[in-house]
Amino acid sequence: MSNEKITALAKAVATGKADAQKLAHEAISARIAPGEILIKALIPAMKKVGEGMQEEEYAFPEIQSAVKALQSVLDILRPALEGASSSTGIQKWEGAGELYELGGHLVTFLDKGAELQGYDLILFLDECIRGLLEQVALPCHKQAASTHK
Amino acid sequence: MTKPMTPKERLAAVDEFREPDVMPVFPRIMAQAIYGKGWMLGDISTKTEINGEKVAEAFLESVKEIGYDWPFGGYMDHGFGVPPLGGTLKIPDKFGVSVSIDEPVIKERSDWASVQNKLPLDPMKDGRCRGTLQSIKIISKEIGDTHPLFAAYYTGITAANILFRKVSDLSLDAAEEPEFVDELCKAATAWCNDWIRAQYEAGCNSFCYLGDHFGTDLISPKMGERFILPYIADTVAMVKKEFGQKTYLHIHGNFKGPKAYNLLERLVKEAGVAGLHMDEKHDPKWIKENIVEKWHIPAGIIVHGADPIQSGPPEKIDAHVKEAIEAIGTPGLGYFMAPSCQVLPDTSNANFKAWVDATHKYGKYPLGSLKQG
């Protein structure tokens, strides 16, 4: 039962569905630990996004909507995990390049979360979102920078 | 001594895969012509009006001084149609800055219903369109016999972005409510077609030149099939049917992946795009092998992105142009020189001219004749 909930949540985040937060609430009600939700649902979901980018299936719209769904879930997990953090150990996003390259960076980056626990996982995904969105929106920024200054 | 071809004759030669005298240059010039004249954009445009006579003066001087081949008939930016629909523009007061959308027409999806009541939009009801049409008339009268004057705008999701909605909002719409984006694309393309009709009626005498800055930079090939392909096809068909002209396309993004390349092929084979102008992600060799030789349509080659033209110095620009033209080899039919996107607004006339002169020097046909002495 818990596996089904985790799978449904991962799919909802990866495909940017609005019911991701509702599914996360259901998972919590079913006593699935927040850490388990992060490791078994959210990180695999974002890996799917990375793979979609590598396969030319995902671009700005799909990434934006997946991130929106992810953030809606992080919002409800955050209070439960808030507390001790070793945030100095959180990896910084350093990936750059075109969409397919960013997809590869995303998958590799997410692998670095395997050793993290608790609130560090939230901070790790926050950094992932920040770095990813900054890079994916770069064509808009570049266009603005080159012509709008 | 053979008489030099006119820019119009060069376009015909490139399009028909004959040898021009020299490789023509299409700078896709927009605000640079105004800054190059020593003016600011506020000198030719307000938020609601464009001074067509001043624009024509700047563009005619630009064509004459720089010597490029294919101009637009007037000053182009992303603000056409926006003010009559309730959006506002920001006219920059700093050098080298483009006009931008200050307040978009559609801030919330719920705004669409009231915007629809203002459609279809007549270009003549926009003072900035009227001014541009006036400049097209003047420029056409002055150089229309020798120069091709392209009608130009954007279709599909790019037109929807420019006319209605911020990129980030439209992008999220595409994921969450694609039917809404379909409606925006349809309405924006209808406006595009009317705006292009008005440009032809004012004196544009050549191909239509469409732009797309979403391409695969911002959306997937699958979304491109939905939000780009049918709208390009619609405008290509309208231009062919009503004006008997072909359409070339400038599109952003990396098209080297199999799905993206398939979209590009469909734009050519299904939508009927007759010439392509890619961005800096595609070097001349790739363009030669994957576009010109594969589909037998003309294409623009570029010099390592926009930066060398913008930053110079002329010696570096000269070397980049030489390298780009040598990369396509002989006989080198079906090529023109183009910037990665546009000759950027803050490019100096000296650098701009160095790029054009170098193209005409190294692009003398038969190609390679300069090297052979």
Distances (CA, A) of B179 to B50, B109, B110, B186, B290: 35, 12, 14, 11, 33
Distances (CA, A) of B373 to B219, B361, B367: 47, 12, 12
End-to-end, the C-alpha distance of chain A in Å comes to: 54
Are A64 and B92 in contact (CB < 8 Å)? no
Distance CA A24, CA A28 (A): 6
Architecture of domain A2-147: Orthogonal Bundle (1.10)
pLDDT recorded at residue B373: 44
Flag whether residue A60 sits within 8 Å of chain B, measured between CB atoms.
yes
Distance CA B55, CA A41 (A): 58
Are A99 and B216 in contact (CB < 8 Å)? yes
Nearest residue, CB atoms, A64 vs list B172, B213, B216? B172
Are A149 and B96 in contact (CB < 8 Å)? yes
Are A148 and B98 in contact (CB < 8 Å)? yes
Flag whether residue A133 sits within 8 Å of chain B, measured between CB atoms.
no
Are B220 and A59 in contact (CB < 8 Å)? yes
Domain ranges of chain A: 2-147
Per-residue buried b or exposed e for B69-95, using 16+ beta carbons within 10 Å of the residue's own CB? bbbbbbbbbbbbbbbbbebebbbbeee
- pLDDT of chain B along its 373 residues, tens only? 678 999 999 999 999 999 999 999 999 999 999 999 999 999 999 999 999 999 999 999 999 999 999 998 889 999 999 999 999 999 999 998 899 999 999 999 999 999 999 999 999 999 999 999 999 999 999 999 999 999 999 999 999 999 999 999 999 999 999 999 999 999 999 999 999 999 999 999 999 999 999 999 999 999 999 999 999 999 999 999 999 999 999 999 999 999 999 999 999 999 999 999 999 899 999 999 999 999 999 999 988 655 788 899 999 999 999 999 999 999 999 999 999 888 989 999 999 999 999 999 999 999 976 655 4
Chain A residues within an 8 Å CB radius of B31: 147
pLDDT one-digit tens code per residue, A92-137:
999 899 999 999 999 999 999 888 888 999 999 999 999 999 999 8
Reduced to 3 states (helix: H, G, I; strand: E, B; else coil), residue B42 is helix
pLDDT recorded at residue A149: 44
Chain A residues within an 8 Å CB radius of B260: 56
Nearest residue, CB atoms, A147 vs list B257, B258, B345? B345
Distance CA B189, CA B173 (A): 18
- If you ran DSSP here, which 8-state letter would residue B73 be given? S
Flag whether residue A65 sits within 8 Å of chain B, measured between CB atoms.
yes
- Determine contact, residues B258/A56, Cβ cutoff 8 Å: yes
DSSP H or E segment with residue B100 = strand B100-103
**How many CB atoms lie under 10 A from the CB of residue A91?**
16
Q: What is the ipTM of this complex?
A: 0.92
Nearest residue, CB atoms, A16 vs list B175, B220, B281? B175
Q: Are strands B88-90 and B100-103 parallel, antiparallel or unpaired?
A: antiparallel
Flag whether residue A140 sits within 8 Å of chain B, measured between CB atoms.
yes
Nearest residue, CB atoms, A59 vs list B218, B281, B306? B218
Cα-Cα-Cα-Cα dihedral of A80, A83, A88, A92, to 10°? 20
Beta-carbon contacts of B241 under 8 Å, excluding residues fewer than 6 positions away, are none
Amino acid at residue number B216? T
Give strand pairing partners of B50: B45
Shortest CA gap B175–chain A (Å): 5
Chain centroid to Cα B125, Å, comes to 24
Chain A residues within an 8 Å CB radius of B91: none
Distance CA B284, CA B275 (A): 15
Q: What tokens were used for B167?
A: 């990129």
Shortest CA gap B124–chain A (Å): 27
Nearest residue, CB atoms, A61 vs list B97, B172, B217? B172
Are B218 and A139 in contact (CB < 8 Å)? yes
